[in-house]
Amino acid sequence: MKNIQISSEYIKLDQFLKLADCVSTGGMAKALLQEGTIKVNRETEDRRGRKLYPGDVIEVPDCGAFQVVRGEE
C-alpha cells in the first residue's frame, strides 16, 4: 500500500486519482469511477466528489492500493 500525502483537510476522489497517478485527466477519472470498480474503505465508490480524509484507504484496479495521510503544510 502506498501513502499519498495531502496538505489540506481532505481531497476529492477525482483529484486523488490524478495525484496517485492512476489517471491523467478529470475525464479519465470520471470514466474510471463509472466502471464501479474503485473502493474506498472496502466499499464501492462512484462519486468523484467523495471527500477523502487521512486514514481512508482507496483501492484502484490495475493501479494499486493507497492510504491518504496528512502531509506537511
User: Considering the chain, what is the average pLDDT of its residues?
Assistant: 93
H helix count then E strand count, the chain: 2, 7
Closest CA to 23 of 38, 10, 9: 38
pLDDT at residue 17 in the model: 95
| pLDDT class of 26 with cuts at 50, 70, 90 | confident
Task: State which residues form the domain around 28.
Answer: 2-70
**Which cell numbers in the block locate residue 3?**
501513502
Q: Is the pLDDT reported for residue 14 higher than 90?
A: yes
Overall number of domains in the chain: 1
Residue 66: which CATH number? Answer: 3.10.290.10
